[in-house]
Amino acid sequence: MDLRRWHYFAVLAEEMHFTRAAARLFVSQPSLSQQIRAFEAELGVALLDRSGPRFALTEAGRVAAAEARELLDRLDRARGVIAAAGRGDAGRLRIAYTRSAPGPLAGDLVAAFRARHPDVELALETGWTSLNLARLAAGEIDVGFVRPPVRAPGIEVAVVGSEEVLIAVPSGHALARRRSLRRAWIAGEPVVFWPRENGPGQYDAISEQVWPGGVPPIVREEPEDEQLMRAVAEGAGIAAVPEHRARALRRRGVVLRRLEEPAPVIDLGLAWRAGPVAPVVRAFVEPARAGAAYARGRTGGDFPWRPAKSPTASPT
């Protein structure tokens, strides 16, 4: 059926006057009259009672007028929803955090997206770098936070921030009395670490910056940072933990110390599948990439969300 005729009839039913309705529709009165008759022929029923000096709506015409308005309103809503989906303002976005990055950056990016796109449904979960990459490749999530560097065919990654790595030390250890640590002091200390396969890029980046030229003497592996901090509190060894994660998991029996310059730093990345990108994914990724690029340009390679360091303040 011709939707234009539904529109014509809805306007005529509102105006109840052919001349005014034709003026609103920017058509001639004879053309409008012709279209209304064609509409009646399509429906197989009279919509107008033309027996008097002024026409009136028949019972079928009153029903048709209500249906026409509902149909046109629904059509307007459909146009809006479709256009919103094309802009990335509607739909569903599946995002996976990484457990090592509970700090403000990932949360702020998600909160900013939620504020800009309130009609997008967000499905949020937490994984780790290798799991998030595998789920991206399988199409189970749309965007994942990861710890670069990563090498995953078919996956694009953009660095969106960075943070310092701190050393968690048992509170009873002699190193706990130091305000900052030298690499030579920790070179032979027993280390608690998580399995390299959880995030090879982050694992290697931490190892190379904290224990340059050598493999850390790992005495115990734990699945993630919460267990690392517990092992440190038990006196099993020291651990290198991203600053926000370390502070979020602070526990009795552990002190946090910075390493001497250059301070070890790890990046936070945003990963998504390469190739054609859904508008809702693009709406999340592009502002994050642009914000990171702008921050690097303003700060000479650093990011504004990386906490400033005081030369005298202790991180305990």
High-pLDDT (> 90) share of the chain, %? 51
Residues of the chain with CATH 3.40.190.10: 91-160+266-299, 162-265
User: Do the beta carbons of residue 165 and residue 265 sit within 8 Å?
Assistant: yes
Q: What local confidence, expressed as pLDDT, does residue 88 receive?
A: 62
Decide if domain 3-87 falls under CATH 3.90.45.10: no
Residue 315: per-residue pLDDT = 42
Positions of CATH 1.10.10.10 in the chain: 3-87
Residue 300's pLDDT band, with cuts at 50, 70 and 90, is: very low
Q: Are strands 155-170 and 239-242 parallel, antiparallel or unpaired?
A: antiparallel
CATH class given for the domain over 91-160+266-299:
alpha beta
pLDDT score for 138: 92
Interval 206-221 mean pLDDT = 87
Residue 308 has pLDDT above 70, yes or no: no
The Cα-based distances of 88 to 24, 92, 274, 278 in angstroms read 34, 9, 17, 8
> 261-273 burial, b if ≥16 CB within 10 A, otherwise e?
eeebbbbbbbbbb
Instruction: Give residue-wise pLDDT tens across range 92-145.
Output: 899 999 877 656 788 888 988 889 888 888 999 988 888 999 999 999 999 999
Confidence of residue 199 (pLDDT cuts 50, 70, 90): confident
The topology under which CATH files domain 162-265 is D-Maltodextrin-Binding Protein; domain 2 (3.40.190)
* 179 closest CA partner among 4, 34, 71, 316: 316
Task: Please report which confidence band the pLDDT of residue 224 belongs to, taking 50, 70 and 90 as the band edges.
Answer: confident
Query: What is the average pLDDT value for the chain, to the nearest integer?
Result: 85
- How many Cβ atoms are within 10 Å of 315's Cβ, its own excluded? 18
Residue for token pair 């009646």: 40
The band of 23, judged by pLDDT with boundaries at 50, 70 and 90, is: very high
Lowest mean pLDDT among 90-104, 185-199, 256-270: 90-104
Q: How many residues does the chain have?
A: 316
